[in-house]
Amino acid sequence: MNDRLALIGVNWSGSRLTAWAYDDEGEVLSSAVMHEAEHLAPSELVARIRFHVAEWLGAWPEVPVIVSGEVGILSLDGREESSNVLKMTLPVSLSTLSESLLPQDGMWIVPWVRQTYPPDISCGTETVLVGLDEDHAAVCIVGRHTRHITLQHGRITRMSTEITTELRDLLLTSGALALRDGVAQRFDAAVFREWVERALDIAEAPPVFAVEAAVLTGQLDPALKSAAIAGLLIGRDVATHYDPGDEVLLVADDPLREAYGLAFDALGADVDEISATEALQEGLFELADLAGLLGED
């Protein structure tokens, strides 16, 4: 691998660090997933990235290292060397991202894109968008948070972030709707879709507590509580941002790609699907190439 190694791409999400080694054609030679024991302060991110990458490869690489994800928060700290990020306020052309990479301790950081009203930030999804190679699209990027993004003429013109998956997890682990010990959960597509369809009529959509009430009154199997809550939350998320007949690019990996795919199908949207991981890999390499980090062609 060392003879062909041309670039290291890294993405930081939560406590998870994912890294890819590329050759000069963008082929992934190897990859690694590393974890931190807890969520880190922004000031610690760069040092920990250096530690993990050096541990993976045996030493810090001699090729360029490009990093996206939560480390992009450093682009918002107001330092002089971060002044280029002032250009990263919507609307933003995807082609300008490569011109605004931030050099930091031997690596290049992809800056976050900002929206002033309503306030929003891209948190790494800007790199995914570059990997899609799309100029015009309504894009739904699904992960722990769901990003609804409008692309027009190669520019990001609008963003909206929903904490749908995180909210589901919070509801199921604490509070009145928390799962009870001993009740193993299973996914049922029919139950999931039933609650999605209830949520699609925004004016008549039931509150989330309706799921708990359905369990307590015998209308819902307790083992399907998670599927029902997910259906209600994802259905509401989809109905808020899209209409029947809309063309949507769904960027996600299983099982979230399956869940959102079912919700878009219930809505009646026209959906194309792509792997979020693959788009991220492509985006990191494309940005490095456009920025000239790979040398002359």
Domain for residue 60, yes or no? yes
Domain for residue 296, yes or no? no
d(CA 112, CA 87): 11
Cβ atoms of 240 and 269 closer than 8 Å = no
Average pLDDT rounded to a whole number, residues 155-175 = 95
Domain for residue 154, yes or no? no
Average pLDDT rounded to a whole number, residues 19-29 = 96
Q: In the predicted model, is pLDDT for residue 109 greater than 60?
A: yes
User: What pLDDT is stored for residue 63 in this prediction?
Assistant: 96
Are both 102 and 11 inside the same structural domain?
yes
Domain for residue 64, yes or no? yes
Domain with 216, as residue range(s), is 164-275
Are both 18 and 114 inside the same structural domain?
yes
User: What pLDDT is stored for residue 82 in this prediction?
Assistant: 44
Cβ atoms of 211 and 195 closer than 8 Å = yes
| pLDDT tens-digit series, residues 149-163 | 999 999 999 999 999
Q: In the predicted model, is pLDDT for residue 182 greater than 80?
A: no
Give 73 or 156, the one with higher predicted confidence: 156
Positive or negative, the CA dihedral 188, 194, 195, 197 is positive
| pLDDT tens-digit series, residues 37-70 | 777 888 899 999 999 999 999 999 999 999 999 9
**Burial of residue 89 (number of CB atoms within 10 Å: 0-12, 13-18, 19+):** exposed
| Average pLDDT value over all residues in the chain | 93
Q: Which residues of 122-133 are buried (b: 16+ CB within 10 A; e: fewer)?
A: bbbbbbbbbbbe
Q: Which residues contact residue 193 at a Cβ distance below 8 angstroms, ignoring those fewer than 6 apart?
A: 231, 262, 263, 266
Q: In the predicted model, is pLDDT for residue 128 greater than 60?
A: yes
Are both 264 and 283 inside the same structural domain?
no
CATH number, domain of 55, equals: 3.30.420.300
d(CA 9, CA 280): 9
Domain for residue 83, yes or no? yes
Lowest mean pLDDT of 38-52, 125-139, 140-154, 230-244, name the range.
38-52
CATH number, domain of 233, equals: 3.30.420.310
User: What pLDDT is stored for residue 85 in this prediction?
Assistant: 46
Are both 68 and 102 inside the same structural domain?
yes
| pTM (2 d.p.) | 0.93
Domain for residue 198, yes or no? yes
